[in-house]
Amino acid sequence: MKQITPPELSEWLADAGRDKPVLLDVREPWEYERAHIAGAQLVPMRELPGRLEELDQAKDIVAICHHGGRSLQVALFLEKNGYNKVHNLVGGVDGWSRTVDPAVPLY
């Protein structure tokens, strides 16, 4: 599992020559409604074990939460379940808002 910073993720998303990762937001629905990164797919952490089949193991997956703690746990869980292209967004949505896109609300 790799750690990725918000600026690194922003560069990746802007790079037309790279396949886009799956942005896996593992927060609760109320958090996602309040603030999220455009294009992120919401799968709350508690639901993930029952929804693994929704994730393509061949694709890069960036796990996202509020500050990076829950997403780190999810990234480790995904690796234990055979996902080899997993990244954790360090600083989460909060870091994204503070360093990449201030239009994403802080909470």
Rounded Cα distance, 65 and 90, in Å: 9
Q: What is the pTM of this model?
A: 0.96
pLDDT at 87: 98
Confidence of residue 27 (pLDDT cuts 50, 70, 90): very high
Active site amino acids: 65
pLDDT at 10: 98
Q: What is the pLDDT of residues 66-79, one digit of tens each?
A: 999 999 999 999 99
pLDDT at 5: 98
Secondary structure E strands in 1-107: 2-4, 22-25, 41-42, 61-64, 86-89
Q: What is the pLDDT of residues 31-45, one digit of tens each?
A: 999 999 999 999 999
Complete domains list, the chain, with CATH? 2-99 (3.40.250.10)
